[in-house]
Structure 1
């Protein structure tokens, strides 16, 4: 190997176009370039190398004019071309890329994650040692920083307000209290009772958990909640999470029970799905069961640490779109009678798809797993030693994972959530969402 030659650099750092077609760089040096092709080309019309410029968060494209093809190698499944390059701009960019990549490897190998992030993107690693004493203090401080007076509640006249009832503690409270008492206690427990948003009465409850199968209510409890909500004039949305094969029969039984109640009472109920297999489970039942696309299927990049990513501010508008803004995907959903989508307020502006949809606030999920991290920590003292939990003792009633104050994150049961108070602060941003098609707000306090 030639001096200063490096093999198999990440394609995100340096890539190559041969006749406008991307090819794999096998080896690269300031004076030589080896690429891999699926098959030979008849003629080389253009050779370009594209470098990622760390300091500017962009790519720089260089057209190579002075080069010679010095070797061509035929292999069983591919062809390699070796070029000798005499180009000063190419040389400088290769060396800059080597220096940046060497620094990246050194920091990754010899520093901890905080120092690495601080050096690479300016992450405030010194703040990672400041924690809240407990979760109650954490929530109280988050809510204390809200500006209630500037919130214009008149924009909510056309919006439905719902709350998330997603664990056994809330199921039991709802069944044992009238709706006024339950709602009053719910708001006080989450330190949100003074917000002008709460002057509006709720008209719907979401029942079930989109992330953990163990937090879905028992069949009898679910029907009791549906009956009570119906008597109190509340609409009901039932939330399902992923569907493992071992739970298919159980889910079918629950769906049949819900459908039979709807049929007997001539009442429609919404079903939030987070697994494509649910389309088969609810087949031929959509006269009474209307489908909503859950947040696990409404996939997008969400994390409070995204603001430290290189190029985030310059390209923030790009992550506002996701698959729901694709015509092909939206037509697929329409063909399967899924017309409502569950969105989460997650720190940046979302581009809402056409139609009427729901916005979850103020929490959004960043990570979830079918194998509970909290259970692994409580039983094995190692969150990495996870397994499928059946017959769960509900450690999440008493324990959470705590994160540094500045991140506004909390680990609860099998998921990690972040707190986004953007819309609680700014009614104009909420009004913009309403004008774009959000007709329901779901309060989802963790």
Structure 2
């Protein structure tokens, strides 16, 4: 009894660090992955919901310590982990172990130092300063903002020349297959302009409106009509069929963009698909549908006149303008589920999906696109989309966090946008955030180097 009390007193005097985040310290007790609830230079504690068996108590220990400098884990096998104490509490059982290994002690000291620094930076600085300390993020550049979206576009698109898209298309054609060029019309301003102008005049006006005074030579093969992210920016039914009729007369192929499906729009979407089917049958044409919701995909799969494409919101990837500052191995970001053959087989069998929509966000520069038909959207890429529009919340409530469902949309996004530090090359438009990859516009040969011979057969341009 005396020895037990002395041991408990000794344990209580150890300099414990309690409840470290699971992500920076993981424990493996035999075959179990367990939470380390407290740690010191002399030992550590874990807990289980039920008492450990004798076999579990004698199982080997391995701890994984996260190192901020290398953005990797150091795994340490504890050869001398000694069971000291078992204590039943209200909801679990706490186990205490001791170790005298030098590599364990060094890892604990390093973890305590780095975690202490993180807490200090988190409490004393803002997020940019924290990122600067941890990853080298250039926090001082966050102070530089342009005054308007128009000014930003002047800077962003200053490298676009008359030959840009011709060079882009030719460069991407390195695979030997024809590369289709498309333009995306994603909001009422473009629907109305296209309907009121000859196509050549419209394309010229499109670039001038996007702050490009000397528009490039641009002759797309296809028009994308609709908005992939916001249901309030879709064309009215009258506009939609007028746009399709005009595109058909002018020999443009047609792709229709569908956003996520709201429950209240289910019946309307079913009726719209039926009327689109009737249009296709009258015109003897097949129309592509880009779906961004599994409900829409399920509905559209019942109509054989549609060719269905996997939209950006379903073709999920890690995307962020700050990705370049991430530590560690980023090659895992280059692929997603669509690269798996069994998943593509499922998409075709279940939804008749054979084309996949991608964005030029820099994460696939060294990888190949999957087999099948692949479209590349540029120069913008979506990073976040909210069903409850943050721009509407900022304009009506004064805070983007005060979001709520939008039933009657006044379309603040026609004149308003969220601006960000210039070096991030991103903006908030509609109900989404977008980053931008300028490289493919400033140096068109880049797309051939990055994506040529890798399965891209269509380039979709949208300057937002």
Q: Pick the TM interval, shorter chain.
A: over 0.9
Out of 145, 162, 186, which is 2:182 matched to? 162
Aligned to 1:40: 53
Are the aligned partners of 2:161 and 2:214 in contact in 1 as well (CA < 8 Å)? no
Say whether residues 1:437 and 2:449 are aligned partners.
no
Shift of 1:146: 5.5
Matches within 5 A, 1:95-110: 95-110=109-124
* Closer, same or farther: CA 67–263 of 1 in aligned 2, 3 Å: same
Say whether residues 1:254 and 2:272 are aligned partners.
yes
CA RMSD of aligned residues (A): 2.2
Output the CA distance in 2 between the equivalents of 1:236 and 1:153.
19
Say whether residues 1:378 and 2:378 are aligned partners.
no
Out of 246, 249, 254, which is 1:231 matched to? 249
Aligned to 1:297: 314
Out of 382, 386, 390, which is 1:365 matched to? 382
Output the CA distance in 1 between the equivalents of 2:171 and 2:462.
20
Aligned to 2:132: 118
Aligned to 1:22: 33
Count the aligned residue pairs: 440
| 1:52-73 deviation per Cα after TM superposition (whole angstroms, max 9, x unaligned) | 1122222111111122111235
Could you state the TM-score of these two structures normalised by the residue count of structure 1? 0.92
Aligned to 1:142: 156
Say whether residues 1:190 and 2:210 are aligned partners.
yes
SS in structure 2 opposite 1:298?
A: coil
Shift of 1:130: 0.9
Out of 66, 80, 99, which is 1:66 matched to? 80
Shift of 1:187: 2.4
| Worse-superposed segment, 221-230 or 186-195 | 186-195
Aligned to 1:266: 284
- Unmatched 5+ residue regions in structure 1? none
Out of 398, 408, 420, which is 2:415 matched to? 398
| Worse-superposed segment, 101-110 or 209-218 | 101-110
| Worse-superposed segment, 110-119 or 174-183 | 110-119
Aligned to 1:240: 258
* Closer, same or farther: CA 330–36 of 1 in aligned 2, 3 Å: farther
Aligned to 2:98: 84
Are the aligned partners of 1:362 and 1:421 in contact in 2 as well (CA < 8 Å)? yes
| Worse-superposed segment, 319-328 or 175-184 | 319-328
| Worse-superposed segment, 426-435 or 9-18 | 426-435
Are the aligned partners of 1:33 and 1:84 in contact in 2 as well (CA < 8 Å)? yes
Aligned to 2:332: 318
Output the CA distance in 2 between the equivalents of 1:48 and 1:317.
27
Could you state the TM-score of these two structures normalised by the residue count of structure 2? 0.89
Aligned to 2:9: none
Output the CA distance in 1 between the equivalents of 2:213 and 2:356.
27
SS in structure 2 opposite 1:396?
A: helix
| Worse-superposed segment, 329-338 or 339-348 | 329-338
Output the CA distance in 1 between the equivalents of 2:128 and 2:196.
47
- Unmatched 5+ residue regions in structure 2? 1-11
Aligned to 1:407: 424
Output the CA distance in 2 between the equivalents of 1:117 and 1:70.
40
Shift of 1:80: 4.2
Shift of 1:400: 1.0
SS in structure 2 opposite 1:164?
A: strand
Out of 55, 59, 64, which is 1:50 matched to? 64
Output the CA distance in 2 between the equivalents of 1:375 and 1:113.
25
Aligned to 1:424: 441
Shift of 1:153: 5.1
Output the CA distance in 1 between the equivalents of 2:93 and 2:161.
64
* Closer, same or farther: CA 307–228 of 1 in aligned 2, 3 Å: same
Aligned to 1:330: 344
Aligned to 2:197: 177
Say whether residues 1:131 and 2:149 are aligned partners.
no
Output the CA distance in 1 between the equivalents of 2:130 and 2:416.
30
* Closer, same or farther: CA 51–148 of 1 in aligned 2, 3 Å: farther
SS in structure 1 opposite 2:46?
A: strand
Are the aligned partners of 1:31 and 1:84 in contact in 2 as well (CA < 8 Å)? yes
